[in-house]
Amino acid sequence: MPTEEHQTYRELPMLPLRGVLVFPYTVIHLDVGRKKSINAIEDAMLGSKEIFLATQKEAQTDEPDEEDIYEVGTVAEIRQILKMPGGTMRVLV
- Within a domain: residue 23? yes
- Within a domain: residue 6? no
Q: Which amino acid is at 88?
A: T
44 in helix, strand or coil?
helix
- Within a domain: residue 88? yes
Q: Tell me which residue of 55, 54, 41, 46 sits closest to 13, measured CA to CA.
A: 41
Give the predicted TM-score (pTM) of the model. Answer: 0.86
| pLDDT tens profile 49-67 | 999 999 999 999 999 999 9
First to last CA, the chain: 40
Q: Which residues contact 30 (CB under 8 A, 6 or more apart)?
A: 15, 17, 20, 90, 91, 93
State residue 7's pLDDT score.
Answer: 77
What is the residue-averaged pLDDT of the chain? 93
Please tell me the total count of domains within the chain: 1
Task: Say if CB 14 and CB 54 are below 8 A apart.
Answer: yes
Task: Say if CB 16 and CB 37 are below 8 A apart.
Answer: yes
CATH at 23: 2.30.130.40
State residue 2's pLDDT score.
Answer: 58
Q: Which domain holds residue 40?
A: 14-59+67-92
- Within a domain: residue 55? yes
